[in-house]
Amino acid sequence: MSPLTITTRDAATGPVLEITGDLDHHTASELRKAVERLTLAAGQRLVLDLARLNFCDSSGISALLSARSLATEQGAGMALAAVPANTARILRIVGLDQVFTIHDDVSAATAADSSDPSCRQTIV
């Protein structure tokens, strides 16, 4: 079990949260709290960098959905970046790859026009 760490930084498009470790039943509330502390402006994009995510269970998926809901409530968008293969597979199986905007890396997710479908990750 890897402890969860969440590092926040700013990008031109909005905040980026780098999530490292295990996002599970014991740690999902930490992500929820980190997102709740953010102030998102309309038109910004919250990016969750999952490049160093080791494990994500259903509670973690729920926390990702909560982050998306909070961003939407504040008039912001949300994107996932660098989703690990095991998590990408789960998102695809449950159809959440159609709900989340997913990018290969943070650079693509924070690009000025990351709504362009050619910037998105293909989950196989």
pLDDT surpasses 80 at 123: no
96 residue type, one letter: L
pLDDT tens across 27-45, in order? 999 999 999 999 999 999 9
Q: What is the mean pLDDT of the chain?
A: 92
21 residue type, one letter: G
Give 116 or 65, the one with higher predicted confidence: 65
pTM over 0.75: yes
pLDDT surpasses 70 at 16: yes
CB within 8 Å of 112: residues ≥ 6 apart: 12, 13
